[in-house]
């Protein structure tokens, strides 16, 4: 956030001496820097056939039948990763999670209640939340509130005896964005960053630079938790999926976990289930690695898995409707 309290749209480069160090004390991953200004994506990436998606990308890819199968996969992966981290003697297990796709948190609560799996040692960091024009969270009675969704989908369903303490159910704070980094540091880093991918290629609300803005990959990868203005493409597609096309109903700003926190996670697990992701999945996996497609930066990470529905694998060919 700027000194004026307004969301920043400026990406500042910093000079580093030696390897930069994350809040956890571990060296941050370096990204090769290159200037990008609305970098075009080769049509070759958009022509990758379904059976070749992910080949050569460095990301493990899995295709499931439909959205229901994807949410089951998401929930099962959260359980498996939590158990694996506890087996490694992690005192606290830290997940970064999105609200969308939806459906996985209800299944997680059901599984824990049925098996008596305690999540007391889980620290759940939600990626983002919409803000009012005044810079506060949208109210809990707003149907678009991600905080309210988490309460309905997970916390109200999970047996309180199995739940983490309220302090470990975290949303980035628009008045203190650095609090997210401090929490991650206290917990010794993020075990798994889960996420979806937006139509712009964003992870969380880390939208790409606007036309005319220039940012190198390293600077973009180092963007921390902050308040952001949402770009028009993101607001438009969110209106399609959440407000029946009423773009005026979609807030103009949000608070988001940064690329820095996502890319510093030990593992990254991405889930795609929207028909309009056919193009962005190809740009992410097979186009240039660029801030113009933020999700493409995960290809620099050593442990990334992408799960998508069969619909998402289809070629992004035009069809008039």
User: In the structure, what pLDDT confidence band is assigned to residue 13 with cuts at 50, 70 and 90?
Assistant: very low
Look at the alpha carbons of 79, 85, 89, 94 in this order and tell me if their dihedral is positive or negative: negative
pLDDT at 103: 96
pLDDT at 319: 86
**What does pLDDT average to over the chain?**
89
Whether 26 is in a domain gets the answer no
List residues bridging with 96 in a β-sheet: 125, 193
- Region 262-290: mean pLDDT is 97
Answer whether residue 243 shows pLDDT above 70.
Answer: yes
Whether 216 is in a domain gets the answer yes
Whether 54 is in a domain gets the answer yes
Whether 24 is in a domain gets the answer no
How far is the C-alpha of 318 from the C-alpha of 321, rounded, in Å?
Answer: 10
- Reported as a single tens digit per residue, the pLDDT across 30-52 is 333 333 333 444 569 999 999 99
Whether 115 is in a domain gets the answer yes
- Reported as a single tens digit per residue, the pLDDT across 88-139 is 999 999 999 999 899 999 999 999 999 999 999 999 999 999 999 999 999 9
Q: Indicate which CATH number applies to the domain containing 90.
A: 3.40.50.1360
Answer whether residue 19 shows pLDDT above 80.
Answer: no
Domain hosting 209: range is 41-313
- Region 199-226: mean pLDDT is 95
Answer whether residue 25 shows pLDDT above 50.
Answer: no
Answer whether residue 55 shows pLDDT above 70.
Answer: yes
Answer whether residue 24 shows pLDDT above 70.
Answer: no
Most confident of 8-22, 206-220, 262-276: 262-276
Whether 85 is in a domain gets the answer yes
Whether 58 is in a domain gets the answer yes
Answer whether residue 226 shows pLDDT above 90.
Answer: yes
CA 55 to chain centre: 22
pLDDT at 214: 86
pLDDT at 4: 37
Whether 8 is in a domain gets the answer no
Answer whether residue 184 shows pLDDT above 90.
Answer: yes
How far is the C-alpha of 94 from the C-alpha of 100, rounded, in Å?
Answer: 18
- The number of domains in the chain is 1
Work out the percent of the chain whose per-residue pLDDT is above 70: 87
Work out the percent of the chain whose per-residue pLDDT is above 90: 83
pLDDT at 42: 53
205 near 254, Cβ under 8 Å?
yes
- Region 53-64: mean pLDDT is 97
């Amino acid at each position: 956030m700027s000194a004026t309290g307004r969301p920043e749209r400026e990406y500042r480069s910093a000079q580093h001496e030696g390897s930069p160090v994350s809040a956890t004390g571990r060296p941050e991953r370096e990204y090769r820097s290159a200037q990008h200004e609305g970098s075009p994506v080769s049509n070759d990436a958009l022509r990758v056939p379904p059976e070749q998606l992910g080949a050569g990308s460095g990301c493990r890819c899995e295709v499931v039948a439909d959205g229901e199968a994807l949410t089951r996969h998401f929930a099962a992966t959260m359980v498996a990763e939590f158990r694996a981290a506890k087996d490694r003697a992690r005192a606290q297990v830290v997940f970064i999670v999105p609200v969308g796709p939806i459906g996985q948190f209800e299944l997680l609560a059901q599984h824990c209640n049925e098996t008596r799996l305690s999540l007391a040692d889980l620290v759940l960091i939600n990626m983002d939340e919409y803000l009012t024009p005044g810079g506060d969270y949208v109210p809990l009675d707003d149907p678009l509130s991600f905080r309210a969704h988490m309460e309905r989908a997970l916390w109200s369903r999970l047996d309180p005896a199995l739940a983490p303490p309220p302090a470990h159910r975290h949303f980035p704070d628009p008045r203190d964005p650095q609090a997210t980094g401090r929490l991650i540091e206290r917990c010794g880093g993020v075990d798994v960053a889960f996420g979806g991918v937006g139509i712009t290629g964003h992870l969380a609300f880390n939208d790409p630079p606007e036309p005319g803005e220039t940012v190198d990959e390293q600077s973009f990868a180092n963007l921390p938790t902050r308040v952001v203005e949402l770009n028009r493409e993101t607001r438009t597609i969110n209106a399609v999926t959440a407000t029946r096309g009423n773009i005026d109903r979609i807030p103009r700003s949000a608070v988001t976990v940064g690329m820095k926190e996502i890319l510093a996670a030990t593992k990254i697990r991405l889930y795609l289930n929207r028909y309009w992701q056919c193009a962005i999945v190809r740009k992410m996996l097979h186009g240039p690695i660029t801030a113009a497609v933020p999700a493409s930066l995960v290809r620099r990470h050593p442990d990334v898995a992408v799960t998508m529905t069969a619909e998402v694998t289809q070629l992004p060919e035009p069809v008039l409707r």
